[in-house]
């Protein structure tokens, strides 16, 4: 199956629902005029993994849904995918990244003007779908706080650009903001919008935030362990751009003779050969290994929370299986 929906082969009900989410996404972007419309249709011609909408739908499985609620859940799921894509389109501008999901990024193909508007358009669509389909202001409030938090993480990352003294705690805070909170929002919306108690939805959010941190640590590990071809996006771009993630931070802690530190300090001057040397050192010094241990720890913590707060049933088993699948992913 094309378009990464094969990621959901083990979850046929979710896979079927994600196809319907895709229909909602395409119906919306087909209405967009001009260059921004072209760019958006281009970019959604290739799907990502659709993780965040899947989390909405998976948490909704804890509830009994009537027809109208099912329809609303699909729209809410589309809303979080729009929000996710908006952040990626803007992230690619900031990073000057040329590839996303194996095709040219919007900024590379259409330029920064179109990319800024395309991202803005998706933020607007997220609000529209959420306000049209949410059952109360609670979801919009949660969405507003999440967006503020994502920006907080991104701004903290910007302020720490090229900071060789970034600590593990700084890193954990950054990735909670830039990635964990959107996972948390998805889990919250799936639970709350499907009619379950808000207290349970808050637990879902907490699970998502921690699982999202594990997900970002793994994304950062992949940056130092697989090829751009496999990842379908550039690798080793973060270190050049001054974004120092888990594997590098942990390797720098073990870099007794400052070989790695001296290389990294070349900042944007780093050549492709030097980047490969950094990759080698990050692996050799054990940075990848320590980051893997961190990802495992966060994953275990998220599963523990899930088991404490949610009943043992098919919905929970699916989420547990997905959580394990995410930590062993290779793209």
Stretch that binds ligand IPE, among 87-95, 184-192, 281-289, 296-304 (CB under 6 A): 87-95
Question: How many other CB atoms sit within 10 Å of the CB of residue 52?
Answer: 25
Stretch that binds Mg ion, among 12-20, 156-164, 205-213, 217-225 (CB under 5 A): 217-225
CB of 7 to ligand IPE, least distance (A): 8
Alpha helices in 224-286 (DSSP H): 228-231, 237-240, 246-253, 259-264, 272-284
Judged by beta carbon, residue 63 or residue 221, the one nearer ligand IPE is 221
Judged by beta carbon, residue 124 or residue 258, the one nearer ligand IPE is 124
Closest residue to ligand IPE, Cβ-based? Answer: 48
> Quick one: which H or E segment has residue 148?
helix 137-159
Which among 133, 132, 183, 179 is positioned nearest to 156, based on CA atoms?
179
CA 151 to chain CA centroid, nearest Å = 14
Partner from Mg ion, ligand IPE, none contacting 233, C-beta within 5 to 8 A by type = ligand IPE
Angle, CA 70 vertex, CA 134 and CA 88 arms, to 5°: 60
Residue from 17, 61, 87, 186 binding ligand IPE (CB under 6 A): 87
Give the torsion through C-alpha atoms of 291, 297, 303, 307, to 10 deg: -170
Residue from 42, 91, 96, 120 binding Mg ion (CB under 5 A): 91
Question: Is residue 170 close enough to count as binding ligand IPE by CB under 6 A?
Answer: no
Q: Which two tokens stand for residue 246?
A: 């888990």
What's the rounded Cα separation, in Å, for the pair 268 and 7?
A: 35
Judged by beta carbon, residue 154 or residue 274, the one nearer ligand IPE is 154
Question: Is residue 95 close enough to count as binding Mg ion by CB under 5 A?
Answer: yes
Residue from 81, 219, 279, 318 binding Mg ion (CB under 5 A): 219
Please report, as ranges, the residues that interact with ligand IPE according to CB under 6 A. 48-49, 51, 87-88, 91, 101, 150, 154, 178-179, 216, 219, 233
């Amino acid at each position: 199956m094309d378009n990464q929906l094969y990621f959901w082969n083990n979850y046929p009900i979710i896979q079927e629902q994600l196809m319907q989410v895709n229909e909602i996404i395409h119906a919306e972007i087909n209405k967009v005029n001009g260059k921004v419309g072209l760019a958006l249709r281009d970019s959604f011609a290739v799907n990502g993994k659709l993780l965040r909408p899947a989390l909405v739908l998976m948490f909704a499985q804890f509830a009994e849904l009537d027809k109208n609620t099912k329809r609303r859940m699909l729209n809410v799921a589309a809303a979080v995918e729009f929000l996710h894509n908006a952040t990626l389109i803007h992230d690619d501008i900031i990073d000057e990244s040329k590839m996303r999901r194996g095709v040219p990024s919007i900024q590379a193909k259409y330029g920064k003007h179109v990319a800024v508007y395309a991202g803005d358009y998706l933020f607007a669509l997220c609000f529209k779908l959420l306000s049209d389909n949410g059952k109360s202001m609670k979801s919009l409030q949660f969405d507003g706080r999440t967006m503020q938090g994502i920006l907080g993480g991104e701004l903290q990352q910007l302020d720490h650009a090229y900071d060789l003294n970034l600590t593990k705690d700084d890193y954990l805070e950054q990735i909670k903001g830039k990635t964990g909170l959107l996972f948390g929002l998805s889990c919250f919306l799936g639970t709350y919008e499907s009619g379950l108690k808000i207290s349970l939805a808050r637990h879902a959010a907490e699970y998502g935030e921690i699982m999202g941190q594990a997900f970002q640590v793994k994304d950062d590990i992949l940056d130092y362990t697989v090829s751009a071809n496999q990842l379908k996006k550039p690798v080793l771009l973060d270190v050049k751009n001054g974004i120092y993630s888990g594997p590098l931070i942990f390797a720098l802690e073990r870099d007794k003779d400052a070989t790695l530190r001296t290389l990294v300090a070349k900042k944007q001057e780093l050549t492709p050969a030097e980047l490969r040397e950094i990759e080698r050192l990050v692996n050799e010094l054990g940075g990848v290994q320590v980051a893997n241990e961190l990802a495992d720890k966060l994953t275990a913590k998220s599963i523990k929370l899930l088991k404490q707060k949610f009943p043992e049933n098919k919905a929970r088993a699916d989420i547990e299986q997905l959580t394990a699948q995410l930590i062993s992913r290779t793209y």
